[in-house]
Amino acid sequence: MRELPPETSSLLLYLGILLLAARLGALFANRLRMPPVLGEILAGLLVGPSVAGSLSSHLGHRLCLDPSTPEGGWVGFLADLGILLLLFLAGLSLEWEELRASGREAALAALGGTLWAFPLGFAAAHVLGWTSLEAAFAGGVLVATSVGISVGTLLDLHRLHSREGITILGAAVIDDVFGIIVLSLLVGLAYGSLSVLGLIWTLLLMLAFFLLIFTVGPRLVPWILARSTGVRAPEFSLSLALALVFLISSLAEKTRIAAITGAFLVGLLASRSPLSRTLREKVSVIGYGLLIPLFFAEVGLRTDLGALREVGPGILLFLGASFLSKIGGCGSGALLGGMGRWEALRVGVGMMPRGEVALIIASAGLRVGAIGSQLFSMTVVTVFFTSLLTPPLLKLVFGRGPGRGYLPRQGQGRR
């Protein structure tokens, strides 16, 4: 066997440590009867710059996994593949008719969350004495939900197939569209060149993507997968399904929609195929064996606890706005959609996490000089705490009230 170059050796060492930490963290969380997702996030935090790096630097050597290194970049790419597979599995676990039936509840939940999040973020920023433009970016940061944490937790709790789980997924897809629209408006305001034509073009691209998916996709994707069964090549159907995930996720990105939304929709379309159960089993092996734990550990790894030193007591107000906006806003929307109080509360909690869109909005504001470093640091802290608190809170609210004894169909959850 040939000797590996130092770069490859470092990458393999990085990958091995992070994967081992993630799995041990999940095992530890399981022992405490907490969602494994929580253990994986904390494991990433412990081996990353914030904890291991800070402690080891006092000994004269900074020994930690650093996402800013080339090795960290490669592992980060694998983690991105993990979230795509997680959302693909979520789509495979549902049926088209179920998601369509929850359309009214999902739309109202997403709309309620947006209508609460922006004003609450704006008001919190004004209380802190920020400018109107900074306050607008603060409101934008709180708008979009990062559904990956919630999906992982719902799978662990065997609740993805519940009414609340389906509503959370549908609302997150709609929420993604709202987040991109808000981002376009904020960047236009920051540059002083808000373009109506640019906004219309963005909306038309999104509309074209969803029309393509919802009109051609339901027939085309199952047909393609059905034809693959006759090909005499090992795991050809699996390769073809993954190729569709990557291609449509790429198309989603090109049309200003998150790649994870594209991956979820491919899974939803593939769930209509007779191969859906087989695909779910095979993708689960790849996903939960390697890529999905890397994604959750990466969330902790990239968390900068040093940002806590910059935010001051105002972060409590901002965090309060972030929690209230989704629990109250999405929950009230779900209530209007006909859900009960406990169901609506679960939807609100499931919509709490903030992630990539929040960081993109804050980064855009920082880049154009519309916001200061304090709001960016607050965004990082908000992403961390909403990601960290959602799993135990979801477990808590699903364990109480009507529907706590819900039994899902088989095939969900981790192996």
Q: What is the mean pLDDT of each run of 10 residues along the chain (415 residues)?
A: 64 94 93 86 91 81 84 91 91 80 90 94 90 90 86 87 90 84 78 69 87 91 87 87 95 85 91 90 93 90 78 87 95 93 94 84 80 84 89 91 55 50
307-316 contact pairs (CB < 8 A, 24+): 307/377, 307/378, 307/380, 307/381, 308/377, 308/381, 310/373, 310/374, 310/377, 311/374, 311/377, 311/378, 311/381, 312/374, 314/124, 314/128, 314/374, 314/378, 315/378, 315/381, 315/382
- What is the predicted pLDDT for the residue at 283? 94
- What is the predicted pLDDT for the residue at 377? 85
Structure tokens at 267: 């899974």
Which residue is listed with tokens 């999905």?
Answer: 292
Task: Tell me which CATH code domain 12-52+75-398 carries.
Answer: 1.20.1530.20
Question: Which stretches does DSSP call E strand in 259-389?
Answer: none
Which residue is listed with tokens 């996490």?
Answer: 353
- What is the predicted pLDDT for the residue at 167? 93
- What is the predicted pLDDT for the residue at 414? 55
- What is the predicted pLDDT for the residue at 284? 93
Per 3-state DSSP, the chain is made up of helix, strand and coil in percentages (nearest 5) of: 75, 0, 25
Domain range annotation of the chain? 12-52+75-398
Angle formed at CA 212 by CA 208 and CA 217, multiple of 5 degrees: 160
- What is the predicted pLDDT for the residue at 408? 43
- What is the predicted pLDDT for the residue at 359? 80
Measured distance CA(226)–CA(194) in Å, rounded: 47
Contact 280, 238 (CB under 8 A): no
Structure tokens at 186: 């904020």
Measured distance CA(43)–CA(21) in Å, rounded: 6
Residue 357: CB atoms within 10 Å: 22
Select from 189, 166, 188, 186 the least CA-distant residue to 178.
186
Measured distance CA(167)–CA(107) in Å, rounded: 9
Structure tokens at 88: 């693909």
- What is the predicted pLDDT for the residue at 404? 61
- What is the predicted pLDDT for the residue at 410? 41
DSSP assigned state of 69: S
CB burial class (10 A; 0-12, 13-18, 19+) of residue 198?
A: middle
- What is the predicted pLDDT for the residue at 407? 41
- What is the predicted pLDDT for the residue at 411? 45
Query: Inter-axis angle of helices 356-367 and 163-191, to 10 degrees?
Result: 10
- Report the run of H or E that residue 302 belongs to, with start and end: none
- What is the predicted pLDDT for the residue at 192? 63
- Global confidence as pTM: 0.81
- What is the predicted pLDDT for the residue at 376? 84
